[in-house]
Structure 1
Amino acid sequence: MKRLLTLFTALVVFFGQSHAADKPNVIFILADDLGIGNLSCYGSDNYKTPHIDKLAAEGTRFTQCFTAALCGPSRAMIMTGRYAFRNGSSNQDACTVMPNKELQLGRVFQSAGYKTSSIGKWGQLPGEPDEAGFDDYLRFNGSGVYRNKKEGKSEEYLVNSKEMKLGDDEYMPDLMHEHMMKFIKKHKDASFFVYYPMSSVHGDLLPTPDSASGSTDLMADNITYMDKLVGKLVSELEALKLRDNTLIIFMGDNGTGKGQSERATIGGKALSGMKGTMLECGGLVPMIANWPGKTPAGKVSADLIDSTDFLATFAELTGGTLPKDTIFDGHSIAPQLRGEPGTPREWVYNQLAAMWYVRDAKWKLNEKNELFDMSDAPFTEKLVAGDHPARTKLAAVLAKLDPAGGIPDSGDGTGRHANKDKKKKVEESMKKPEAPSTTTMSAEDAERAAKFDKLDEDKLGKLTRDYYTTHQSDAAAAGNRFDKYDTDKDGFVSRDEYITKGKVTK
């Protein structure tokens, strides 16, 4: 009997360890304004990042990870697993008025029994982290918070709803690291998730604690200090004996900022695009995954990824749940993180304001129907004229997505600022309840119903041709869509016609 009990105990321990190993702790590090040209493991000419390079050397480095070209829309993709035309996050200001229910990242971990913490930048998202699935948080206002910038005026931040002021001798990146380690130590015997959106390396750049007096290269100083903090995190996880069961994701939130882009070269060559642009390196970002014993060491993957994929990936890895009545755009890369082939994407989609593109491994097609040969990316993008099989293929993807039929952009066209009149209308429409439906709808139909209700500001139950086309970014194509939807040819598109894309039967 004693031997049987010993065997039973050993089996319980074994299967418990096996289960824990398959449900890792997760730390998602999101660097701010850090492009591929800022990391030495991606070939940067001017910056050295030995600790991040080590993560890549001992894990997998992805070369085709895309996200939105500005921080708010990028974070919205990560948090929601949905494209901007679905959640309304096509510009910075619109991100702050997204419905709170869109923010699923913390919630998916909570649903799997994880303890969750958000530490860093949050102001481009609605509400507070504790309203979006995070048990613990430290958040500062704005971007690029390092030290107090003005004499007699302290930077303010929140720790679990408590208002705090940065001391004159305090450095925000260090406070964030200390808060993170306190959270990890508290929950080291449980499963935990840390969302870690860093200050670094968003401007206005200030000297780090390690900067030499009179340093003239604050970008290099800040990248070096950021890299140091990543190394410090790894060392402390090792000391706590947590490293082997912790998946670390390191990613940039968009491309390099304008003021630093000229020095973000690779192999002596300038990159195409920067933060805020729809060129390649506006949205192409570094992404490294390191999970000891699971993620292949030293692998470089060219699998296409966009930042909606993280939510689906984490749901699969943890067993967490997502709402069943919502369309999610992500494709799980959990197999690739475990060293398996998986089913890589055939294309990625990217959007900022009313600009968008769909891109596969070789070609890119934008909202203007411009086709680009991407064989020399990330350095050049070659415009291709005339008919081409790639144009037909990617146009079919855009037609299926139908971004122009989604929530219209409420901004000034740049993705940075609101058009105040449009923003007010979007905010008002988001507050109004959806019209009731007399039938049980699919998730796709329910989403189109919500889009119609947002367009139908006067609640007439129908849209005129002029109204519909002027509320779309592509008036000519919108006119064709209107004619298709208007099946009874009465000059209006009804709610049912819109929902079914003209397939309604009377």
Structure 2
Amino acid sequence: MFKYIQFILIFAVTFSVLAQKSKKPNIILIYADDISAREMPIYKSDTWSPPKGGNTQDMKYRAQTPVLDNIANEGVFVKTAWAAVVCSPSRAMMMTGRYAHIHKWWANSDIGRYSIGKKKTATYPLFKSSPKLIGHIAQEGGYKTFWVGKTQMRNDDLEEYGFEEGVFTAGNVRLAGDNPYTTFQVEQIKKDGKKLVVNNDSGEEVVTYPQSSWYWKPQVMLMNHPTSNKKFEWWPNTKKSKKEFSVNTYGPDVELDFALDFMERKVKKDEPFFLYHTSHLGHDGFDFLHPTEGNKWPGTPIVTYKNGKYKRTKPNVTGSKGNYKTNGTVTEPGMHSHLKYLDYQVSLYLKKMKELKIEDNTILIFCADNGTSGYGKNSNEIQKGVHVPFIVYAPGFNFTKKGEQDILLNISDVYPTIAEIVGVEIPDNYEINGESFWPYLTTDKKEHRKWIYAYKSGTQIIRSKNVLKDGRDKWFDVSKTPSDLISYPVIKDWNTVPKNLKAEKSKLKKVLPKFDLFATAPHGPLEPGAVLPIKKNKSWLKNKNKKKNKH
């Protein structure tokens, strides 16, 4: 009888383990904003960004990220991961798995357009160029989907991207103008025939771009949220949240609270989830708490790390109308402060995964959309604008690799990777430029891909293991990594370089023509009547022709 009971118990435990492993894994994808790989200690750069932007080697501005360091070393992190040089095209690459020759989002200021009437055009939306977006792929795989944070989608149709629920902080046209809960907005107005940019909170003229706060006293909108009976509704939207909302409300906290609540609800229903968190942290913004100081990255709530845990100081900001005191509860401004707060937030994700007992069945990816503002953002020089951090942590999966991986990876690779994880096959006739990195993580495969690619308007950036061509048509020897991750030697005489570098250059040059369609974009695979901003396109063609004639 004892042996029989023992057999039953062993069988039950084995069955339970197999059942857990057969469940679809949850996916948390954190896409941080404007953070170069060099800002994170795991990349061992000797240079990073000081609070006003630029370069520093002052250790007090080097970020402290113990949690991200740990999951990078326990999981994997990629030495050379590339996005595009700026927000919109990078987010397009992430959502579509494609490059701009298809989705037409070449740069923030160069996005394809299409006709919506005889004389009107509109931004060409990603769901028209790419009907199978990353959210749709997750849904097709049976996942519940949630999008929280920055949108940057240039249109109002946020329900078209494959997410059942959303919690959006400012960064989209829908989230502008009429929020009744916050005065933290910078608006362009006309006064006496002149255009002025004004801080609505203080009424003072300021030197910055129009924006609504995504940090302190943020502008937040809900999409299809259980607490609302509307498709879209401003938050706070409950008696409790309206009572608590104040200048001490911090946007990234609001985002994370909603994200953790979504996780709880889905685990309770035993539903696999895909959580897409496009955090604003890392992005510069107007400092409404110090409107006259010109801070690039506003301070965050203070968090301290001790004995393996974070402790957060509750914000105690007092004052009104542009005159505020933080009373020792807010950090100094700077990229290092933003990264530390991201580290704190990742610790809360890990804590929630443990609480919900889904740690062994959840894949967490941490990456960023482009280089740091004031250093790499919008730059097509070398790899300043495209080199971003990339971490994958999945403790319940038997990765064949651990820690730093000296491979090439592109943000477009996330899309096919998620498709493989959720069990969705992409049709052969649906062009995807990314390559799944799941086989590299789970087999004995030694290389992920031969080259990576990025773009900015009519310029192209490409690199292989040892050779890089930037958007200024300079070629670099990248066989050895410099201490600042950027000071690679220019190749001036190809007769002096090894044969393998010449061979790599030759292969890269064969790749470029396929994607070099910026000048002919109106004739590309857009809807009938699609156009680009004509002035910009003609200007670029004119400059290109000048260069050709010159040489």
TM-score (normalizing by structure 2)? 0.67
Structure 2: any 5+ residue segments left out of the alignment? 46-58, 113-122, 177-181, 186-199, 203-211, 224-230, 237-244, 286-296, 303-314, 316-327
Match runs of 1:337-376 below 5 Å: 337-338=441-442, 340-341=444-445, 343-366=447-470, 369-374=473-478, 375-376=480-481
Amino acid at match of 1:179: F
- The change in CA–CA distance for 1:65 and 1:405 in structure 2 (over 3 A counts) is closer
Task: Give the whole-Å Cα distance in 2 for the aligned partners of 1:478 and 1:405.
Answer: 16
In the alignment, what sits opposite 2:369? 253
Tell me if structure 2 keeps the 8 A contact 1:120–1:139. yes
In the alignment, what sits opposite 2:513? 402
**Shift in Å, 1:25:** 0.8
Task: Give the whole-Å Cα distance in 1 for the aligned partners of 2:157 and 2:11.
Answer: 46
In the alignment, what sits opposite 1:318? 422
Aligned length: 419
**Shift in Å, 1:116:** 0.8
| 1:231 aligned residue (347, 352, 360) | 347
| 2:20 aligned residue (14, 17, 24) | 17
**Shift in Å, 1:385:** 2.4
Match runs of 1:148-297 below 5 Å: 148=184, 150-151=200-201, 155-160=218-223, 161-165=231-235, 167-168=245-246, 169-188=248-267, 189-204=270-285, 205-210=297-302, 212=328, 215-258=331-374, 261=375, 273=376, 275-294=378-397, 295=399
SS in 1 for 2:426: coil
Cα-to-partner distance string for 1:256-305 (whole Å, 9 max, x where unaligned): 110xx4xxxxxxxxxxx555343223111111110004235752101100
- The change in CA–CA distance for 1:293 and 1:11 in structure 2 (over 3 A counts) is closer
In proportion to residue count, which structure has more helix? 1
Tell me if structure 2 keeps the 8 A contact 1:88–1:408. no
Q: Which structure carries more relative contact order (alpha carbon 8 Å, separation 6+)? A: 2
Task: Give the whole-Å Cα distance in 2 for the aligned partners of 1:312 and 1:345.
Answer: 13
Moved more, 170-179 or 287-296: 287-296
In the alignment, what sits opposite 1:33? 34
TM-score (normalizing by structure 1)? 0.73
Amino acid at match of 1:60: V
Task: Give the whole-Å Cα distance in 2 for the aligned partners of 1:78 and 1:214.
Answer: 33
Tell me if structure 2 keeps the 8 A contact 1:141–1:156. yes
- The change in CA–CA distance for 1:370 and 1:291 in structure 2 (over 3 A counts) is same
Cα-to-partner distance string for 1:123-180 (whole Å, 9 max, x where unaligned): 245544421111111112229x999354288753321142315643321111110110
In the alignment, what sits opposite 1:381? 488
In proportion to residue count, which structure has more strand? 2
- The change in CA–CA distance for 1:214 and 1:335 in structure 2 (over 3 A counts) is closer
Task: Give the whole-Å Cα distance in 2 for the aligned partners of 1:385 and 1:297.
Answer: 37
1:335 aligns with 2:336: no
Tell me if structure 1 keeps the 8 A contact 2:71–2:393. yes
Task: Give the whole-Å Cα distance in 2 for the aligned partners of 1:97 and 1:385.
Answer: 40
Cα-to-partner distance string for 1:417-441 (whole Å, 9 max, x where unaligned): xxxxxxxx799x94427xxxxxxxx
1:116 aligns with 2:145: yes
Task: Give the whole-Å Cα distance in 2 for the aligned partners of 1:242 and 1:214.
Answer: 33
Moved more, 175-184 or 103-112: 103-112
- The change in CA–CA distance for 1:12 and 1:97 in structure 2 (over 3 A counts) is same
Moved more, 468-477 or 286-295: 468-477
- The change in CA–CA distance for 1:472 and 1:74 in structure 2 (over 3 A counts) is farther
Task: Give the whole-Å Cα distance in 1 for the aligned partners of 2:514 and 2:523.
Answer: 17
In the alignment, what sits opposite 2:68? 52
| 1:65 aligned residue (81, 84, 88) | 81
Cα-to-partner distance string for 1:449-493 (whole Å, 9 max, x where unaligned): xxxx979x9xxxxxxxxx9998598549999xxxxxxxxxxxxxx
**Shift in Å, 1:218:** 3.7
Tell me if structure 2 keeps the 8 A contact 1:156–1:163. no
Q: What is the aligned-residue RMSD (CA, Å)?
A: 3.8
Identity %: 23
SS in 1 for 2:106: coil
Tell me if structure 1 keeps the 8 A contact 2:453–2:461. yes
In the alignment, what sits opposite 2:105? 89
In the alignment, what sits opposite 1:432? 528
Moved more, 361-370 or 298-307: 361-370
Task: Give the whole-Å Cα distance in 2 for the aligned partners of 1:37 and 1:275.
Answer: 16
Tell me if structure 2 keeps the 8 A contact 1:353–1:409. no
**Shift in Å, 1:114:** 0.7
Task: Give the whole-Å Cα distance in 1 for the aligned partners of 2:396 and 2:218.
Answer: 42
- The change in CA–CA distance for 1:140 and 1:97 in structure 2 (over 3 A counts) is farther
| 1:106 aligned residue (108, 111, 135) | 135
Tell me if structure 2 keeps the 8 A contact 1:247–1:291. yes
- The change in CA–CA distance for 1:214 and 1:6 in structure 2 (over 3 A counts) is closer
Amino acid at match of 2:519: P
Tell me if structure 2 keeps the 8 A contact 1:71–1:124. no
Amino acid at match of 1:331: E
Amino acid at match of 1:42: Y
Task: Give the whole-Å Cα distance in 2 for the aligned partners of 1:181 and 1:54.
Answer: 21
